[in-house]
Structure 1
Amino acid sequence: MDDDAVAHVRLDRPDKLNALTLDMLGDLAATARRLRGRPGLRAVVLAGEGRSFGAGLDIEAATRNPAGVARAFAPTWRGTNRFQEACWAWRRLPVPVIAAVHGHVFGGALQIALAADLRITTPDARWCVMEVARGLVPDMSGIQTLSELTGIETAKRLTLTAEEFSGTDAVAYGLAGSTSDDPLTEARALAGTVAGHRPEAVRAAKRLLNRTWQRGPLRTFAAERTAQLRLLPGAMRGR
C-alpha cells in the first residue's frame, strides 16, 4: 500500500503463478475487510506479482486438505463461502477496485478479476473460465459476474468450452474495459483520477450502480454451491 488514498494489493505467490490456496483465499477476504475500515481510502489497485495475475486454484494443495476444502464451502452469515468471499469482498468495498491483469488469468483468478469494478489487461494475457475442464463449475461468484458483464451465449461458450482467450478478446467480450502494455501503470493512473473526485460521490455512485444493475447474487451463490458440491468429490478423485 503506497499511500492513504490508494491501496495496492498483490497476489504474491509468483513461483506458482499465484495459484490460489485456501490461506490465500482467506487472506484476500480479510484484506478487503480491513480496507473497508481504512479512513481516507478512495481506490484499490489489485494485481499479481511475477509473470501472471493468477493461474487459478492450486488443486494439488486443495487435495491435500479435503477437510479444509469442505469447511471452506460452508456459507457464512454474509451469504458467501470462503471461495466466493475471496472475490465478492472486493465488490463490497465502498470504493472502486481496479484489476491490472497480465499473464495467466485462469479459473479462480479470473473470478477475482471479474469481481473488481474495472479491469485493464495486457492484449496477450491468457484468460480462461477453466472450471469445466476440471470437472467443476465457476463457483467463486463467477456465474454472477459473468452474467453482469457479458451476454449469455458468450458466457456459455467460455464456460462450456473452457477455451483460452486473449486480453484483446476479453475486452471484446465485455470482461475487461481496456488493454494496455502496462496495465499496472494505467490502473494506478486511473485510481489517481478516481481518488481526485469527491469521495462521497464516488462511493455513492458505486453503491447505486451495484444495487440497481442486477439483483439476486445470494441466490446465485447458493446455486453455485449446490452444483459444485455435487461435482467436487469426483473432481478431487480426478474423475
Structure 2
Amino acid sequence: MADLTTIRLELDGPVGLLTLARPEKLNAMSRRMVAELTSVLEELAADTAVRCVVLAGEGRMFSAGADLDEFRDDFGAAGVDPAATEREARDGARLTAALESPDIVTIAAVHGAAIGGAAAVVAACDLRLFADDARLVVPELAMGLPLAWGGIERLVRDLGPAVTRDLLLTARPLTADEAVARGFAMERVAPGGLLDRARRIAALCATRPRRGTTIALGRIRAVADRSRAEGVDDDAASLAVAAGDPEALAAARAYLASLDSTSRRT
C-alpha cells in the first residue's frame, strides 16, 4: 500500500485495525484522509486473507468530521464551486460504499464524537461499538447543507425517519445509551476497553467462512436498502445545489465564525 499520512493500518492475521491518525486536528476528514481510507479499504476487501476491519480514532475523539481549513476555503470569499463540491461528495460516497462492501466486515469503535461526515462513516459500518462518552452529531443543516455520503439513507435505515429528522433538524447528539437502545450500536463500552472489545468481536467475525458471510451481508443489505432504492435523489448533486444557495453560503460562514469564536473562548 502507498505511504499513509493521515491513517494508520495494523494487521493481525485476518483482522485489520484502521486508525484515523490526525489527533491534533481531532481526526478531521481531509480530502487526503478520505482518499487514503478508500484506497486501503478497497484493497483490504479484495484481500482474501483479511476478513474484518476495526475503524477507530486516535486522541480525544473518533472524528470531528470535515476538515475546517478545507471547508473555509470552499466557503471563502470566492464562493462555492458546485462541481468541486459534487466531486468531493462522490469521493465520500465511494468511501462509505467501501465500508459497506459485503466482502469485508467493518466495525466502528467510536469514542468522544463522530460529527458530520464521520457520522456517515459510522453509519456505513456493519457493526458499531460506542464508548460511554461517545456521541454522534449531524450539524450540517445549521449551514443549510444536507448530509451526503449516503448518510441520511443509512440513518433512516437503521434509526428510522422520525429519529433521523430529529437528529438532523435539532443537531442534538445521539448518545451511547440511546444508540444501544435504538439498536444503532451493539454495545456501550468503557472507553479504556473499547479497542480490546472491538478486536475480540472482529476476531470472532473473522472465523466465519468468507463466502457465506459475503452472501449474508449482501442479502441483509439488499433487504434493508429496498426502502431507499426508489424516490431518493443523488445526494452528491443535491449537496452541490444546496451549497451554492446564497442562504446556505451565509449560514455556513456564520457557522464557521461561531466555531472560531468558541475556540477563542476556550
Shorter-chain TM-score above 0.5 = yes
Please give the alpha-carbon distance, in whole angstroms, between the structure 2 residues aligned to 1:48 and 1:151: 27
Indicate yes or no: 2:187 matched with 1:174.
no
**Contact 1:139–1:224 (Cα < 8 Å) also in 2:** yes
Aligned partner of residue 202 in structure 1, secondary structure: helix
**Contact 1:32–1:93 (Cα < 8 Å) also in 2:** no
Other-structure match for 1:109:
118
Other-structure match for 2:198:
187
**Contact 1:20–1:54 (Cα < 8 Å) also in 2:** yes
Other-structure match for 1:3:
12
Post-superposition shift, 1:14?
0.6
Structure 1 unpaired stretches of 5+:
none
Other-structure match for 1:230:
241
Q: How does 1:1-239 map to 2 (within 5 A)?
A: 1-64=10-73, 70-71=83-84, 73-74=86-87, 81-181=90-190, 182-215=193-226, 222-233=233-244, 234=246, 235-237=248-250, 238=253
* TM-score normalised over the length of structure 1: 0.88
Aligned partner of residue 27 in structure 2, secondary structure: coil
Greater Cα shift, 61-70 or 8-17: 61-70
**Contact 2:53–2:106 (Cα < 8 Å) also in 1:** yes
Please give the alpha-carbon distance, in whole angstroms, between the structure 1 residues aligned to 2:184 and 2:158: 6
The residue type paired with residue 132 of structure 1 is L
Other-structure match for 2:5:
none
Rate the CA distance shift 1:166–1:42 in 2: closer, same or farther, 3 A: same
Post-superposition shift, 1:227?
2.8
Aligned partner of residue 184 in structure 2, secondary structure: coil
**Contact 1:6–1:43 (Cα < 8 Å) also in 2:** yes
Aligned partner of residue 57 in structure 1, secondary structure: coil
**Contact 2:96–2:150 (Cα < 8 Å) also in 1:** yes
**Contact 1:90–1:115 (Cα < 8 Å) also in 2:** yes
Aligned partner of residue 214 in structure 1, secondary structure: helix
Post-superposition shift, 1:88?
1.9
* TM-score normalised over the length of structure 2: 0.80
**Larger Rg computed on CA atoms:** 2
> Percent identity of the aligned residues?
29
Post-superposition shift, 1:132?
0.9
Rate the CA distance shift 1:9–1:81 in 2: closer, same or farther, 3 A: same
Aligned partner of residue 208 in structure 1, secondary structure: helix
Rate the CA distance shift 1:83–1:97 in 2: closer, same or farther, 3 A: same
Equivalenced residues, count: 235
Greater Cα shift, 63-72 or 201-210: 63-72
**Contact 2:102–2:217 (Cα < 8 Å) also in 1:** no
**Contact 2:141–2:169 (Cα < 8 Å) also in 1:** yes
**Contact 2:82–2:241 (Cα < 8 Å) also in 1:** no
Please give the alpha-carbon distance, in whole angstroms, between the structure 1 residues aligned to 2:111 and 2:170: 22
**Residue deviations 1:62-118 (CA, integer Å, cap 9, x gap):** 33257888435239xxxx811212222110251210110001111111110110000
The residue type paired with residue 73 of structure 1 is E
